[in-house]
């Protein structure tokens, strides 16, 4: 009978970092806080190894060890944050480039990055021009600012159907697979297109796959919650109701008279 190898563990709460894969400190890092002897370097490196396999709790680290690990992990988060925000900047439309996350968006981003598959999706509802798309993009920015290594894809419903329609791309099924598998998906203007048997089936297949795999989404729609079954179909509306937090947006059309 053989013992299974210990799994790597990082106390993300203790170190104040988002969940993810990190390069762990080893001998080279141990050298910076050792007493100058090879024996002490090896001793500290071994303590690091035991710490990250759950054999040495955070509370039993020396202040020097804890500070070294924390600082190294935070440097990695800062680098990832810079990369994630840059990816966001390349993706965000110019109109929404300066969207600032609200507190609830930042809180949701923390949930997503802490446990991707337990975070609920978000469904922004409201009439035309109430700021749904702006709020959705600000939420994506909040996710980028955590520094978590999450892939996101943003697409309007119209472009979604254009991409998945036969002849719309070289492989519509591959496109559907990519949309279903991305970490975080934002679909803007859900229910805006004329509902046909084909559009309802495509939307159902996409949302159902993400629903079954517990992958978070962000949706915007002009339809009120009670109108969703008629607009997108009962099967889709039922899944949206279970997987999403409803966020009503109210107010006048901000696009009128040049309002932002």
- Give me the residue label for tokens 């600082």: 71
**pLDDT for residue 243:** 97
- Give me the residue label for tokens 């500290």: 44
**How far is residue 106 from each of residues 72, 86, 93, 111, 143, measured CA to CA in Å?**
24, 18, 20, 9, 7
For residue 184, the enclosing domain spans 99-258
Domain boundary among 82, 116, 139: 82
Q: Examine the domain organization and report whether 141 and 174 are in the same domain.
A: yes
Instruction: Count other C-beta atoms under 10 Å from residue 224's C-beta.
Output: 13
Q: How far is CA 204 from the centre of its chain?
A: 22
Q: Examine the domain organization and report whether 142 and 252 are in the same domain.
A: yes
Q: Examine the domain organization and report whether 122 and 193 are in the same domain.
A: yes
pLDDT in 10s for each residue of the chain, 260 residues: 334 445 888 998 999 988 888 999 999 999 999 999 999 999 999 999 999 999 999 999 999 999 999 999 999 999 999 999 999 999 999 999 999 999 999 999 999 988 999 999 999 999 998 999 999 999 999 999 998 888 999 999 999 999 998 876 768 899 999 999 999 999 999 999 888 999 999 999 999 999 999 999 999 999 998 999 999 999 999 999 999 999 999 877 776 765 55
Domain count for the chain: 2
**pLDDT for residue 2:** 39
CATH number of the CATH domain containing 150: 3.40.50.300
**How far is residue 217 from each of residues 3, 136, 166, 181, 257, measured CA to CA in Å?**
40, 10, 25, 11, 32
Asked whether residue 37 is domain-assigned, the answer is yes
Q: Could you list the beta-strand ranges (E) of 114-196.
A: 121-125, 152-156, 184-188
Asked whether residue 90 is domain-assigned, the answer is no
Label residues 14-26 b or e (16+ Cβ within 10 Å = b).
Answer: ebebbbbebeebe
**234: part of which helix (H) or strand (E)?**
helix 234-243
Q: Examine the domain organization and report whether 77 and 143 are in the same domain.
A: no
Q: How far apart are CA 171 and CA 9, in angstroms?
A: 39
**pTM score of the predicted model:** 0.83
Using DSSP bridges, classify how beta strands 152-156 and 184-188 pair: parallel, antiparallel or unpaired: parallel
């Amino acid at each position: 009978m053989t013992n299974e190898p210990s799994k790597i563990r990082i106390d993300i709460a203790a170190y104040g970092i988002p969940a993810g894969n990190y390069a762990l400190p080893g001998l080279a890092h141990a050298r910076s806080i050792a007493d100058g002897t090879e024996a002490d370097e090896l001793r500290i490196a071994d303590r690091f190894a035991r710490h990250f396999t759950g054999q040495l709790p955070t509370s039993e680290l020396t202040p020097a060890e804890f500070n070294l690990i924390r600082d190294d992990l935070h440097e990695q988060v800062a680098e990832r944050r810079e990369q994630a925000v840059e990816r966001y900047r390349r993706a965000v439309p110019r109109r929404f480039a300066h969207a600032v996350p609200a507190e609830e968006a930042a809180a949701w981003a923390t949930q997503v990055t802490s446990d991707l598959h337990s975070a609920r999706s978000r469904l922004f509802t409201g009439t035309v021009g109430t700021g749904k798309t702006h709020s959705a993009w600000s939420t994506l920015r909040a996710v980028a600012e955590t520094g978590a290594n999450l892939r996101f894809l943003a697409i309007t419903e119209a472009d979604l159907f254009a991409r998945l329609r036969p002849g719309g791309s070289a492989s519509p099924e591959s496109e559907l697979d990519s949309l279903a598998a991305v970490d975080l998906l934002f679909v803007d203007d859900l229910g805006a297109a004329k509902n046909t048997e084909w559009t309802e089936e495509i939307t159902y297949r996409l949302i159902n796959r993400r629903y079954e795999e517990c992958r978070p989404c962000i949706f915007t729609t002009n339809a009120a919650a009670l109108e969703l079954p008629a607009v997108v179909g009962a099967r889709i509306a039922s899944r949206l109701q279970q997987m999403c937090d409803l966020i009503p947006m109210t107010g006048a059309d901000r696009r009128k008279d040049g309002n932002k």
